[in-house]
Structure formats: structure tokens, C-alpha cells
A = this chain, B = another copy of it.
Amino acid sequence: MKDNQIPKATARRLPLYYRYLRILNNAGKTKVSSTELSEAVQVDSATIRRDFSYFGELGKRGYGYDVESLMNFFAKTLSDDQMTNVALIGVGNLGSALLKYKFHQSNSIRVSAAFDVNPDIVGRIVDGIPVYPISDLKEQIAIQQIEIAILTVPAQQAQDTFNTLVDAGIKGVLNFTPARIVTKDNVLVQNVDLTNELQTLIYFLHSTNPTEKK
């Protein structure tokens, strides 16, 4: 497997493939055709074949795919065969909703610690997850071996909080704030900007013939 050759668009589809394979495996299915896979994940089969080709031979032409071995392969590729603890910073409206959010298709991702500045919730357990003061960040991240943080603080605090996270040892941040974070120390930042999503959708809706609808 050559990870450094895998395009981001392909990487983003891996969780989709993995989730569907788990559903099939739970249903006792042992084989899946590329057509079935394509219909279920709503990705055309040429794209699926190209995505899979980055990982070498994953199936045989005319035979389809072996569900269990393909599922196990993606579990390993996505590190879903090991527990990943995640921190959540900022227990406001969106943060609270994400604490309740079921990371449905994964048994192995778990928000294990939340952090906030609000004295009303710091030191309490919210939806089963302890809320620590920001001053405990470094200690908890080390103890719980957390590498990833979900950032749901107000936009004005995003960059400062990010810097604190990097100093505490965080390696990847899922940024839900509208702020464009300047990263450092090769820390990965993945942006989920809900207004952008809506604006992009509106743009495609009003442009007559979008190149790609996926």
C-alpha cells in the first residue's frame, strides 16, 4: 500500500466503503458485486475501481469482492481495528450536539474528554463525557493518548485554542468554526464549515449544469 499516492477524494470515500461492508457482513453476506457496492454507496463503479486500485488487488474481475476480507482490510486502513480517543473543545450548542452524536458506523472512535471554560459545566459529566477545564488539556491528552480534537469554540477563539492544542500534542483537528486556522508543526486541519456547505449547495442549484453532483 502506498499511502502517499492516495488522493484526498479517495480517502474521503474509504469510510463509505467500510461502512457498507460492515452492514453486509453483519447481515451475513459473504460476497458483493461491484454493481451492488456502487449502488449502495452511490459512487460510480469506475471511481470505485480506481479507488481500490490504489491498494492493489482487492477483488477479482467477474467474481466481485469478498465481504469479510475487504471489510477487515478497510478496518485496518482506517485504524478502526484500534480505539481512537478524541477530545472535543467547546461545549456550546454545536459541541453539546456532537457529544450526543453517535459516531454510528464506527465502534472505535470515542469522544473521551471535553474541555470548556464555562464554570457551570467544567468538572461535570455531560452525556457520559467528563468536561475538563482547558488547564487540564495537556495532562488529559497525554493520559488518554488523544491525537485528535474536534474544535467547536467561538470563531474568535479558534486560532488561540488551536495553538494550545498543538502545544499539548494534538496532531489533527476537525475544525467546525468558520475561522481559517493557520496550522503549524504539520498538524492536520480538516474544516467542516456549515455555512460553506449551504452556500456551495445554493451555488450548484443556481448554476445550470454543475460538472459533478457527488
Q: Interface residues, chain A, CB within 8 Å of chain B?
A: 3-8, 11-12, 14-16, 18-20, 39-42, 77-80, 84, 86, 93-94, 96-98, 100-101, 103-106, 109, 147-148, 150, 155, 171-172, 174, 178, 180-183, 188-190, 192-214
Contacts and interface: CB of A to CB of B under 8 A. Distances in A.
B202 A42 contact: no
Contact of A103 (B6, B188, B195): B195
Contacts of A79: 202-203, 206
Given A172-B205, A205-B147, A15 B195 contact: yes
Contacts of A194: 98, 101, 103, 192
A3 B208 contact: yes
Contact of A4 (B100, B148, B206, B211): B211
A4 B208 CA distance: 7
A72 to B, nearest CB: 16
A52 to B, nearest CB: 15
Given A208-B3, A210-B8, A211-B6, A148 B199 contact: no
B101 A205 contact: no
A202 B14 CA distance: 12
A48 to B, nearest CB: 13
B182 A201 contact: no
A182 B42 contact: yes
Contacts of A6: 207, 210-211
